[in-house]
């Protein structure tokens, strides 16, 4: 009886349908039931897809923003700790989708799930949802810590007809109920074509890194055309960006802005604030040059942004290193040990390795070097074709830790050609042997005018080899081009121009500072640029510099950044092993074998675990 009474509570207040019912009453009941059915269907769609379809449109277009539905809860398989994560942004790159995932303060994703334990889930495009509910799961490419506030998860590009609104779940689960991952999404899908992707606090200013501005290379641009916006919301939600300032400098992909006074007084409060850039919507250059109208108003369009303001000085540094090195790498783990061991012997004390989406064992190699007391740190830099901006970012990163920072690649090695036994050089600039590079740099530390030291590069070829030299590039490649190509620089971070303008090979300096060119008789850089075809082909497939064309592109084919005669296809030219060989130069090889090889075993430092 009690069950019957409960059922009665849910019965409609009117009598059941009968043939004696009036037409108006029938119509009213029909409308009421249809309304309830419509509400049920819309609620079902909203709960599963996060939005209502737009009826009456020619095509059912996907909505890029999904409102918060539920938390991404992960049950730690190694402990009972339950923590929460949420995907806050997605960026679509040409060959993958990058997910930015907010960290919970108590736990990080890496301590619970490795990339092998997660999978990326794709659903069909929304215009096809009525005919199919199929989903596809693919393996995660990588999982990494990023900027102290977020994690990054790289997923493969979505299959054809599938959306880039990628979700995450534990491997082997099916849907939300079966797995221990559920999703909360409150951001949009962004294209890499135009995006504010990073921001760093630098004193009373903020430095933004912006893709897609298409400013001129190696030249400062007009900063008055840009506005800067600070807040706690999404760039597309204008009411959330409540603080606006002017841009102070603009060059290439780097914009420097004034920090709002309320944040300037409390840097800890500024840490983590979202930032974006306002760009003009008009084309009248006279108006643009005269004044910045309506700062944050109708004359400016705010770019999509995934950037949060990071305070790099949160780390307490008791003293500055005399000499540091910064580089950007992609799949060059096999080259790191030789490069770091050799330059540490020359006096480099600190290493900043910017990892540009490597898929080899680079993290393992860096961890091993750290355990061997090399001061090496890996910095995740997922932004493709942004080497210049990455170097500017590293200059800011190293500013509080280093007096001098060298910007060289992992196939470039400093070499001091003068024999250490030459006593006539006692009072000269040259210091051959251990710590020789740091000693040279120290000569300029007291200078009030020298802000950059430039060293000439010699480009080496395959030297007759057809396979990777087993003992390393420094003793394997011994033939080079006669004339030097380009140079590389060691800079004082506090002497750099406010624009942080760099062309990879050197920076622009503040007024009053100048560069110094080391004589070739003092030091040179051996650039092992054209290695055996196996190594060079991997390098051919990808370039990291923004303003340097990929080798596959039909642009500037005569540039020194290319291999002469190679063209635009990765096809091994005839007699590759003998090309780029004009002068046999065994100087560095002879020096290393005589100085660094173990007296008993003959092994080089990178051929065994270092003490």
pLDDT single digits (tens) 20-75: 344 444 344 444 455 455 555 555 444 444 333 333 333 333 333 333 333 333 33
Q: Establish if 225 belongs to a structural domain.
A: yes
Q: Establish if 289 belongs to a structural domain.
A: no
pLDDT of residue 568: 67
- Rounded to whole angstroms, the Cα distance separating 252 from 304 reads 18
Same domain, 440 and 558: yes
Structure-model confidence comparison of residues 51 and 604, the more confident one: 604
pLDDT band at 168 (very low <50, low <70, confident <90, very high): confident
pLDDT of residue 105: 53
- Residue 253: what are its φ and ψ, rounded to 5°? -110, 10
pTM: 0.80
Pairing of strands 82-92, 96-102: antiparallel
pLDDT band at 309 (very low <50, low <70, confident <90, very high): very high
Q: Establish if 459 belongs to a structural domain.
A: yes
Q: DSSP state, 575? A: T
Same domain, 305 and 329: no
Q: Establish if 288 belongs to a structural domain.
A: no
Closest CA to 167 of 178, 180, 181, 177: 181
Q: Establish if 16 belongs to a structural domain.
A: no
Cβ neighbours for 488, distance < 8 A, ≥ 6 positions apart: 406, 407, 408, 412, 454, 455, 457, 505, 506, 525
Domain count, the chain: 3
- Rounded to whole angstroms, the Cα distance separating 532 from 465 reads 6
- On the 0-12 / 13-18 / 19+ scale of CB atoms within 10 A, 94 is exposed
* Structure token pair of residue 12: 């409609």
Closest CA to 390 of 359, 441, 355: 355
Contact yes or no for 184/87 (Cβ under 8 A) = yes
- Rounded to whole angstroms, the Cα distance separating 489 from 404 reads 10
Q: Establish if 445 belongs to a structural domain.
A: yes
Same domain, 521 and 433: yes
Same domain, 340 and 449: yes
Look up the CATH number of the domain holding residue 535. 3.90.550
Same domain, 167 and 209: no
Q: Establish if 286 belongs to a structural domain.
A: no
pLDDT of residue 116: 64
Closest CA to 189 of 76, 90, 70, 262: 90
Share above pLDDT 90 across residues of the chain, in percent, rounded to a whole number: 50
Same domain, 305 and 336: no
Look up the CATH number of the domain holding residue 217. 2.60.40
Q: DSSP state, 61? A: P
Contact yes or no for 253/209 (Cβ under 8 A) = yes
Closest CA to 29 of 11, 8, 7, 14: 14
Mean pLDDT score across all residues of the chain:
78
SS3 state of residue 151: strand
* Structure token pair of residue 178: 């079966």
pLDDT of residue 314: 60
CB atoms within 10 A of CB 230: 22
Same domain, 467 and 361: yes
Same domain, 304 and 334: no
* Residue-range definition of the domain harbouring residue 220: 195-281+299-311
Same domain, 162 and 206: no
Q: Establish if 72 belongs to a structural domain.
A: no
- For the cut 90, the answer to whether the pLDDT of residue 175 exceeds it is no
- What's the N-to-C CA distance of the chain in angstroms? 84
């Amino acid at each position: 009886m009690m069950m019957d009474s409960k059922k009665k509570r849910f019965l409609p207040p009117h009598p059941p349908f009968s043939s004696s019912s009036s037409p108006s009453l029938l119509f009213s009941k029909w409308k009421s039931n249809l309304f309830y059915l419509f509400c049920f269907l819309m609620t079902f769609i909203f709960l599963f897809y996060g939005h209502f379809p737009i009826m009456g449109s020619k095509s059912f277009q996907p909505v890029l923003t999904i409102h918060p539905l539920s938390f991404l809860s992960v049950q730690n398989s190694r402990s009972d700790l339950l923590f929460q994560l949420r995907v806050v942004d997605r960026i679509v790159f040409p060959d993958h989708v990058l997910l930015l995932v907010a960290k919970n303060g108590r736990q990080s994703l890496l301590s619970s799930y490795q990339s092998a334990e997660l999978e990326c889930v794709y659903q069909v495009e929304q215009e096809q949802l009525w005919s199919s509910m199929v989903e596809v799961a693919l393996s995660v490419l990588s999982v990494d810590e990023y900027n102290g506030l977020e994690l990054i998860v790289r997923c493969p590009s979505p299959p054809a007809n599938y959306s880039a609104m990628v979700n995450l779940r534990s491997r082997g689960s099916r849907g939300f109920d079966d797995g221990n991952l559920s999703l909360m999404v409150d951001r949009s899908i962004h294209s890499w074509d135009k995006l504010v992707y990073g921001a760093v606090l630098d004193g009373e200013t903020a430095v933004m890194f912006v893709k897609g501005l298409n400013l001129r290379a190696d030249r400062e641009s007009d900063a008055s055309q840009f506005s800067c916006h600070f807040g706690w919301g999404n760039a597309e939600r204008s009411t959330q960006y409540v603080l606006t300032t002017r841009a102070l400098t603009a060059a290439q992909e780097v914009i420097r802005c004034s920090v709002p006074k309320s944040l300037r007084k409390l840097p800890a409060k500024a840490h983590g604030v979202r930032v974006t850039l306002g760009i003009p919507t008009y084309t009248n250059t006279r108006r643009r040059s005269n004044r910045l109208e309506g700062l944050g108003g109708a004359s400016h369009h705010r770019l999509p942004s995934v950037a949060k303001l990071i305070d790099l000085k949160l780390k307490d540094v008791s003293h500055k290193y005399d000499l540091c090195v910064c580089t950007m790498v992609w799949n060059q783990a096999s080259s790191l040990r030789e490069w770091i061991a050799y330059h540490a012997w020359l006096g480099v004390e600190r290493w900043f390795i910017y990892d540009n989406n490597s898929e080899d064992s680079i993290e393992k190699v860096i961890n091993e070097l750290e355990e061997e007391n090399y001061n090496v740190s890996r910095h995740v830099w997922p932004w493709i074709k942004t080497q210049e901006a990455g170097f500017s970012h590293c200059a800011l990163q190293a500013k509080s830790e280093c007096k001098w920072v060298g910007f060289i690649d992992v196939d470039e090695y400093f070499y001091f050609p003068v024999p250490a036994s030459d006593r006539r050089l006692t009072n000269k600039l040259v210091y051959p042997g251990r710590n020789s590079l740091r000693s040279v740099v120290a000569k300029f530390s007291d200078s009030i005018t020298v802000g950059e030291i430039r060293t000439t590069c010699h480009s080496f070829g395959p030297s007759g080899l057809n396979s990777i030299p087993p003992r390393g590039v420094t003793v394997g490649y011994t033939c080079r081009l006669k004339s030097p190509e380009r140079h590389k620089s060691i800079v004082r971070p506090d002497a750099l121009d406010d624009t942080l303008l760099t062309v990879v090979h050197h920076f622009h300096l503040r007024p009053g500072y100048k560069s110094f060119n080391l004589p070739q008789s003092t030091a040179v850089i051996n650039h092992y640029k054209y290695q055996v075809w196996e190594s060079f082909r991997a390098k051919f497939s990808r370039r990291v510099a923004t303003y340097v064309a990929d080798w596959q592109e039909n642009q500037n084919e005569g540039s020194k950044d290319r291999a002469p005669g190679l063209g635009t296809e990765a096809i091994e030219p005839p007699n590759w092993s003998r090309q780029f060989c004009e002068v046999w130069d065994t100087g560095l090889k002879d020096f290393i074998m005589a100085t660094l090889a173990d007296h008993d075993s003959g092994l080089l430092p990178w051929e065994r675990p270092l003490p």
